[in-house]
Amino acid sequence: MNDSKEHIISIACKLFLQKSFKEVTMREIVVETGLSKGAFYHYFNSKEELFMEVLGYFYSNIFAHPYEKYSKDSFYNFYHDYANNIVAVSKIFLEKFKENGSDNELSMNYFSLAFDAVKLMPEFRKQMIIEHEKELKIWTDVIKNARKKGEFKTNLTDEELANTFIYLSDGFAINMVMKGSYFDKLLIPIVTLWDKIYEQIKA
């Protein structure tokens, strides 16, 4: 990706996070980038096209999980590595996109952006389903290996336990942000709950 295109995407990210997809206009984006209309439209023909690029950049470069770097020695170490990565990238997210608003506004707008995307872009919804299936498989495989090693005992299937951890974090994060918590503060109570579940099933 060249510098001009990445600059446009970065500016658009900030604007979509500050407002919403519908509220941001192409004219506003062009003005904020400081590029000429000709230079801008060389890369993007519509707001929808740009929005899809923003989503791809946002979720692949900022919130993509480097699963290959997470410990596979134990389920406990795996989910702690997962949580530590979220804390790290959340701080980057807040520093990169915060301008005039508060950390909490930015955190809430992150979820608004995701819901806008799911509502307006069927392709994005399909991609998120595919990504969830990949994530679920990775968690399930780690849990399966941990069970074979005798790390824990539970009547839940490997996939059910994976979904328990994944959905607990997703739902809890949204709830905490609605109450005023920031991204980089979310993981402490979530990991506490994960650890309590783990203690209940640990062999």
5-32 average pLDDT score: 88
Give which of 95, 104, 122 is closest to 182, Cα–Cα: 104
Q: Within this chain, do residues 74 and 48 fall inside the same structural domain, yes or no? A: no
Question: What would the pLDDT profile of 46-83 be if each residue is shown by its tens digit?
Answer: 898 998 888 887 777 666 789 999 999 999 999 999 99
Please indicate, yes or no, whether residues 80 and 99 belong to a single structural domain of this protein.
yes
> What is the CATH classification number for the domain harbouring 147?
1.10.357
Classify residue 119 by burial, with Cβ atoms within 10 Å: 0-12, 13-18, 19+. Answer: exposed
Task: Tell me the percentage of the chain whose pLDDT exceeds 90.
Answer: 38
Question: Mean pLDDT, the chain, as a whole number?
Answer: 85
Q: How far apart are CA 97 and CA 11, in angstroms?
A: 9
* Model pLDDT, residue 103: 59
Q: For the residues 37-54, what does the mean pLDDT come to? A: 89
> For position 76, what pLDDT does the model report?
97
**Span 163-172, average pLDDT:** 88
d(CA 189, CA 169): 10
19 plus 50 within the same structural domain: yes
Number of domains present in the structure of the chain: 2
What single-letter DSSP state applies at residue 152? B
Task: For residue 179, give its domain range.
Answer: 64-201
Angle between helices 47-61 and 103-120 (to 10 degrees): 120
On whether both 53 and 68 belong to a single domain, the answer is no
0.95 surpassed by pTM = no
Q: Which residue, 144, 160, 133, is CA-closest to 74?
A: 144
Q: What is the CA radius of gyration of the chain?
A: 19
For tokens 């824990």, name the residue. 152
Asked whether residue 69 falls in the same domain as residue 53, the answer is no
